Amino acid sequence: MNISEVKSILAGESYYRINHSSGLPIYVYPKKGYKSAYAIFGTRYGSINNVFSVDSGEKITVPDGIAHYLEHKLFESEDGDAFVRYAKTGANANAYTSFDKTCYLFSCTGKFDESLEILLDFVQSPYFTAKTVEKEQGIIGQEIKMYDDSPDWRVLFNMLEAMYENHPVKIDIAGTVESIAQITAEKLYEVYNVFYNLNNMVLCVAGNVTVEQVMKIADKMLKPCKKHEIHCYFQDEPDGVLKPYVEQSFPVSIPLFNLGFKEKPDCCITEKQKACTDILLSMLASPTSTLYRNLMNEGLINTSFSYEPFEGPGFFTIIFSGESREPQKTADRIKEYISDMKKNGLDKEDFEIAKKAIYGGSVSALNSVSTIGNLLIDHHFNDNEIYTYLDEVAKAQFSDVEEMFSHLLDVDNCTLSVISEIKGE
> Can you give the pLDDT of all 425 residues of the chain as single tens digits?
689 999 999 889 999 999 999 999 999 999 999 999 999 999 999 999 999 999 988 999 999 999 999 999 999 877 778 999 999 999 999 999 999 999 999 999 999 999 999 999 999 999 998 888 888 888 888 888 888 889 999 999 999 999 999 999 999 999 998 998 999 999 999 999 999 999 999 999 999 999 999 999 999 999 888 899 999 999 999 999 999 999 999 999 999 999 999 999 887 789 999 999 999 999 999 999 999 999 999 999 999 999 999 999 999 999 999 999 999 999 999 999 999 999 999 999 999 999 999 999 999 999 999 999 999 999 999 888 899 999 999 999 999 999 999 999 999 999 999 999 987 64
Q: Are residues 312 and 409 in the same domain?
A: yes
Domain hosting residue 284, numbered range: 245-421
Contact 256, 54 (CB under 8 A): no
Using the Cα atoms of residue 389, residue 391, residue 394 and residue 399 in order, give the sign of their dihedral.
Answer: negative
Q: What does each C-alpha distance from 311 to 6, 45, 65 come to in angstroms?
A: 26, 15, 19
Q: What does each C-alpha distance from 239 to 65, 164, 262, 404, 410 come to in angstroms?
A: 26, 9, 8, 18, 11
CB-based burial, 95-116: b 16+ in 10 Å, e otherwise: bebbbbbbbbbbbbeebbbbbb
Q: Which amino acid is at 71?
A: E
Domain count, the chain: 2
Q: Are residues 204 and 68 in the same domain?
A: yes
Catalytic, out of 5, 13, 71, 336: 71
Establish if 240 belongs to a structural domain. no
Contact 351, 287 (CB under 8 A): no
Question: Domain holding 375: CATH number?
Answer: 3.30.830.10
Q: Are residues 205 and 293 in the same domain?
A: no
DSSP string, 156-183: HHHHHHHH-SS-GGGS-TT--HHHHTT-
Helix-, strand-, coil-residue percentages of the chain, each rounded to 5: 45, 25, 30
Establish if 213 belongs to a structural domain. yes
Q: Are residues 226 and 333 in the same domain?
A: no
How would you list the strands of the sheet with 60-61, edge to edge?
60-61, 51-54, 230-232
Active-site residue flag, 403: no
d(C-alpha 309, C-alpha 323), whole Å: 19
Establish if 238 belongs to a structural domain. no
Q: Are residues 377 and 261 in the same domain?
A: yes
Q: What does each C-alpha distance from 413 to 63, 242, 248, 309, 399 come to in angstroms?
A: 31, 10, 21, 15, 24
Establish if 78 belongs to a structural domain. yes
Establish if 88 belongs to a structural domain. yes
Q: Are residues 227 and 250 in the same domain?
A: no
d(C-alpha 80, C-alpha 93), whole Å: 15
Q: What does each C-alpha distance from 345 to 109, 285, 330, 337, 340 come to in angstroms?
A: 50, 15, 22, 11, 8
Establish if 237 belongs to a structural domain. no
Q: Are residues 61 and 176 in the same domain?
A: yes
Using the Cα atoms of residue 293, residue 294, residue 297 and residue 301 in order, give the sign of their dihedral.
Answer: negative
Residues 6+ apart with CB under 8 A from 172: 47, 64, 65, 144, 147, 157
Q: Are residues 261 and 166 in the same domain?
A: no
Q: Are residues 9 and 157 in the same domain?
A: yes
Establish if 348 belongs to a structural domain. yes
Give the domain-ending residue among 232, 260, 280: 232
Least Cα distance to 41 among 117, 108, 143 occurs for 117
pTM: 0.93
> What is the pLDDT, as a whole number, of residue 424?
61
Q: Are residues 225 and 336 in the same domain?
A: no
DSSP string, 170-219: GS-TT--HHHHTT--HHHHHHHHHHH--GGGEEEEEEES--HHHHHHHHH
Q: Are residues 389 and 251 in the same domain?
A: yes
Establish if 263 belongs to a structural domain. yes
Give the domain-ending residue among 174, 198, 232: 232
Q: Coil, strand, or helix at residue 6?
A: strand
d(C-alpha 29, C-alpha 361), whole Å: 19
Q: Are residues 278 and 324 in the same domain?
A: yes
Give the domain-ending residue among 232, 253, 274: 232
